[in-house]
Structure 1
Amino acid sequence: MELAGKAAVVTGGTRGVGAGIARAFLAAGADVVVCARRPPREPVRAAGRTAVFHPLDLREPDAVQDFFDVVAADRGHLDVLVNNAGGTPHRLLGECGAERHARVLALNLTAPLTASLAAYPHLRASGGSVVMIGSVSGTRPSPGTAAYGAAKAGLESLARSMAVEWAPLVRVNTLVPGLVRTELAGLHYGDEEGVAAVARTVPLGRLAEPSDVGEAAVFLASARAAYITGASLLVHGGGERPAFLDAATVNKPSGDGE
C-alpha cells in the first residue's frame, strides 16, 4: 500500500489501459478519481476499493480547472495526475482534411497540457507528480495514425520541459507503452489468431496487459522514484523485432540439411 493516503486522478480511466492504471493505484492504496466523457459500464474496482467517476471533457479548459479544484478541495490535496486519455481512429493522412487530424492532436497533446496546468497548483502544494502516458508511436513511424504519433512525440517533449520548469516541487515523467491487450485489441489486431501473431513479434512473447502499464505508473508516482523526473520509461516487452532480420539470409538454414 505504498500510495496509501495519496489522491490520484487518472484521465480516461474507465476502460482499457486507463482502467488498468486506476486499478493499480487502488491496489497501492491511493484514493482514485477517474474522468471521461462517458461513465464506465461498471465501476473500476481493485483490492475491495472503488474509483470515483466524474464526467469531464478534457477539451473544455474551464470545466477541467473546476474539476481539479473540486477534487483537491474534497480530498484536501492532490498528489498524482496520470494523463492517460487519448486515442485515434486508423486514418491515412490523405483520407481527410487537416482539421480532423488537428482533433487528434488536441485530444492527445493539448488536453494533457490543459489537465497538467489545471492540476499544477495542487500538485505543487503536495509535492506531487505527473505521469504522461505516451506511446511507441511517438518514437517510430505510425502509418495510419500519424497525427497520434506526432502528438505522443510532442507529449514526451512537453513532459521533459515541464519536469525542468516545475522542479523540484513536481516530478513529471512519461510511460511509453508498446502493444497492449485491452478489450479493444480485436479492432486493431483481428481475431485471437491475429492477436497471437502480433504477440509473437514482441521479444517477451506477449502483448502488455493494462496491469503492466499500471504497475509502472505506480512506480513512477511512488517514493521509490523520488529522484526520477523528466524520464521516459519504455513498457514495450523489448520493442519490436526489426523486419530486416526476417529478410536477411545470414545464419539461416540453407535447406540442404547442413
Structure 2
Amino acid sequence: MTLDGKSVVVTGAATGIGRGIAECVLKAGARVTIVGRREEPLRDLAERYGSAVAVVAQDVAAPGAAERIVAVATDAFGRLDAVVNNAGLARFGRLDAIDPALFEAMFAVNVRAPAELIRCALPQLRSHCGSVVNISSVGGALSMPGRAFYGATKAALNSLTRSLARELAPDVRVNAIMPGPVDTPMWNETGLDEADTQHMRVDLLASTPMGRFGDGTEIGRWVCSLLDPELSGWVTGALIPVDGGRTA
C-alpha cells in the first residue's frame, strides 16, 4: 500500500482518530494538509514530518474555511488528490434535556462542512481522479437513545456519501468509514457529566463483541486502503463499519 506523491487533506487532525489517520497517511508516503482548531498539536505533528505537512488552524464550520483549506493544500503541494472529512462534534443528551442549538452546531460540523470541503476541492479531485473518505459513525446506522441528534447527523453524512458517490463517479470516489467506540479525547467533551460518561462507556464495551475500544491507527489503516487506487479503485459508495463487531 502506497500513497506516494498524493496530496491529502485530513480535518480534525489534532487528536484522536484524526491524528491516527494523519500519521498513517503520512507513513504511506502522502503529503498531508492537517486541519484542526488548535494549532499547537498540529505544529507538533508538522515538526515530526517536516515538509510533508502543511498546517491549517481552522474551525471547519467557519465561513470561508473550505476555500482556505483547499488553497493551503494546493499552494503547499501543487495539487489535491484526496479529502478525509474527519472533524466532528459530539454532544449527547436526551431529547427533553439537550439544547436544540446543539443540533445545529453538530450539523454544521458533521454534515455541512464536509459537503462544502468536497465542493471546493472538486476541481482538483476531478483533475486527479481523486478520492473522499468521510469519517462517520456506527451511530449513523444504529438506534442511539440519548444521542439521537448526533446519530442523525452521522446518518445524514452516510446519505451524503452514497449520493455523492453516484453523482461524482467515475471521476471521484466517495466512501465512508463508520467507527465504533474509539478511545479519544472526545469522551471528555460530550456534555455529559463524569458518571454518565462512564456509564455510557461501560454500555458500549458490553455491546462490542471484540470487548475493547478501538484506536485511531486502526481507522487510519482503513482510510489509507480506501485512498489507494490500486487497492480500492473500484470501491465507491461504501459505508464500512470498523467497529469491533458492534453492528454485527
Q: TM-score, normalised by structure 1?
A: 0.84
Partner of 2:44: 43
CA contact (8 A) 2:54 2:73 kept: no
Shift of 1:99: 2.7
Are 2:105 and 1:103 aligned? yes
C-alpha RMSD over aligned residues: 2.4
**Alignment partner of 1:233 out of 230, 240, 247:** 240
Shift of 1:61: 4.0
Shift of 1:204: 1.9
Q: Which has the higher contact order (CA 8 A, sep 6+)?
A: 2
CA contact (8 A) 1:7 1:78 kept: yes
Alignment deviations for residues 169-220 of structure 1 (CA, whole Å, 9 cap, x no partner)? 11000001001122455767539xx967753532122211111100001001
User: 1:10-25 counterparts in 2 under 5 A?
Assistant: 10-25=10-25
Q: Which moved more, 1:101-110 or 1:211-220?
A: 101-110
Partner of 2:198: 190
For the residue of structure 2 that corresponds to 1:95, the secondary structure is coil
In the alignment, structure 1 segments of 5+ residues that lack a partner are 242-258
Amino acid at match of 1:208: G
Partner of 2:34: 34
Rg larger for: 1
Partner of 1:56: 58
User: 1:82-101 counterparts in 2 under 5 A?
Assistant: 82-101=84-103
CA contact (8 A) 1:201 1:240 kept: no
Partner of 1:221: 227
In the alignment, structure 2 segments of 5+ residues that lack a partner are 189-193
CA contact (8 A) 1:61 1:114 kept: no
Q: In 1, distance between residues paired with 2:172 and 2:207?
A: 37
Q: In 2, distance between residues paired with 1:197 and 1:86?
A: 22
Q: Which moved more, 1:101-110 or 1:13-22?
A: 101-110
CA contact (8 A) 1:203 1:240 kept: no
User: 1:36-185 counterparts in 2 under 5 A?
Assistant: 36-41=36-41, 43-44=44-45, 49-50=49-50, 51-185=53-187
Give the direction of change, closer, same or farther, for the CA distance of 1:189–1:24 in structure 2 (3 Å limit).
Answer: farther
CA contact (8 A) 2:92 2:150 kept: no
Q: In 1, distance between residues paired with 2:35 and 2:16?
A: 13
CA contact (8 A) 2:80 2:125 kept: yes
CA contact (8 A) 1:179 1:208 kept: yes
For the residue of structure 1 that corresponds to 2:96, the secondary structure is helix
Shift of 1:85: 0.4
Q: In 2, distance between residues paired with 1:67 and 1:236?
A: 30
Q: In 2, distance between residues paired with 1:97 and 1:179?
A: 24
For the residue of structure 2 that corresponds to 1:57, the secondary structure is coil
Partner of 2:208: 202
How many matched pairs? 238
Amino acid at match of 1:137: G
Q: In 1, distance between residues paired with 2:206 and 2:99?
A: 36
Shift of 1:7: 0.7
Partner of 2:6: 6
For the residue of structure 2 that corresponds to 1:140, the secondary structure is coil
Q: Which moved more, 1:20-29 or 1:180-189?
A: 180-189
Alignment deviations for residues 95-148 of structure 1 (CA, whole Å, 9 cap, x no partner)? 244333211111111111111111111111111100000101111122222111
Give the direction of change, closer, same or farther, for the CA distance of 1:63–1:143 in structure 2 (3 Å limit).
Answer: same
Q: In 1, distance between residues paired with 2:18 and 2:218?
A: 11
Q: TM-score, normalised by structure 2?
A: 0.87
Give the direction of change, closer, same or farther, for the CA distance of 1:235–1:140 in structure 2 (3 Å limit).
Answer: same
Larger relative helix fraction: 2
Partner of 1:250: none
